[in-house]
Structure 1
């Protein structure tokens, strides 16, 4: 189903995840080094090397996409702005459904870990802001969704790739949000025909989310979220 280079991409992704999880444990038990501090740097290194290797493996795919579907910088910006608005609206609706119908706590353990790591060392922001969106969109949208879309249709391609995307974030209580975001990213990829668009949208969403958690008072942030729910569902 996948070309050989794609399997190498998957292997790099798995090895990167294993490295970022195992290295802090080894250094802690072997040398008594603070595991959180090591986790920050091992993640940063892993999420820099990983995307670079993946981009090198996929340079032919990206070059072919660029030639087959030329698009101006203005259209990329326009699609990105539209995508961010669509993603925020969709995320707000999905979050409200989780809260109102399933009683799920709106806080995300995954986001809280990222925010805490960024507080400890701002260099960690490079991961959610830049490297993770590049890597995730290339794998989940370009490779997995793109391959499934050719064999099935948009719905099944987006659903399967989005569920995998959500599960691998290890935040299963918010599977609905991750799945709906996956649909948005897949839609933007199909409509723009360029993977750079969902990458930029993903970057923007992650950066704004983390910075909001860091810079806005928690009570004020909760009030903003409640106002968003009122707008969509009337309170």
Structure 2
């Protein structure tokens, strides 16, 4: 692994740890305590992404020289396919967790993120765009890429996915994160373009953010209306019988 990649890992680690000093600082500045996690994440993730993209500048400039790079058309196709593959992998892993391992569905990490986004809506940008870009660069391009050269796909995929889960502090759903990580790694190896798993990751997170934050109240209303409609139908059918 070259020095620039080590600096990328250091930058990402410092970005994650920066909340220890940054959040108390925002508190002293009078920022609403409920908005602090979202505000600081917006600042630290944006700064971290700028620094990491600067470190990746040589890779970006020479990206066309890679022999295993897919065409743009293939990249677009696999980006779309990748979204469905990730959904399928998540669903399969969730079913195994529920029916084999006895793990209840739902993620505390997701619930926490949703609360942050409700308190500071701009945090959705971090969750759905900046975060996925950073994670694919760090966990797929750097960590998976380094392990893949030495150990092959499965060890590299599982190893990088375990680190991916550890950063999210969601060990209960380790299988789900591993399944997602393996799909993202497959997309990266298949196309030779880190942009492909980035697009798939952004699409997944954006969908989750829209459903859980922007449409949450409407979905609750729709569910209530559906329940009322079902109850009305039962009463009418019961009266006819």
Q: TM-score, normalised by structure 1?
A: 0.86
Cα distance in 1 between the residues matched to 2:200 and 2:100 = 28
**Where does residue 230 of structure 1 map in the other structure?**
none
Deviation at 1:173, TM superposition (A): 0.7
Q: Which residue of 2 aligns with 1:67?
A: 65
Equivalent residue, structure 1, for 2:176: 177
Q: Could you tell me which residue of structure 1 aligns to residue 238 of structure 2?
A: none
Corresponding position of 2:115 = 116
2:71 corresponds to 1:53: no
Q: How does 1:39-188 map to 2 (within 5 A)?
A: 39-68=37-66, 69=68, 71-188=70-187
RMSD: 1.8
**2-side partners of 1:80 and 1:10: how far apart?**
25
State the distance in 1 between where 2:2 and 2:196 align: 24
Supply the distance in 1 between the matched residues of 2:116 and 2:72 (Cα, whole angstroms).
Answer: 34
The answer to whether the Cα contact below 8 Å between 1:24 and 1:36 also exists between their aligned partners in 2 is no
Asked if structure 2 preserves the Cα contact closer than 8 Å seen for 1:114 and 1:210, the reply is no
1:229 corresponds in structure 2 to: none
Aligned to 1:223: none
141-150 vs 63-72, which moves further: 63-72
1:177 partner SS: helix
Q: Where does structure 1 differ by over 4 angstroms across 4 or more consecutive aligned residues?
A: 30-33, 69-72
State whether residues 144 and 161 of structure 1, in contact with CA within 8 Å, keep that contact through their aligned partners in structure 2.
Answer: yes
Q: CA deviation at 1:40?
A: 1.3
Structure 2 residue runs of 5 or longer lacking an equivalent are 224-241
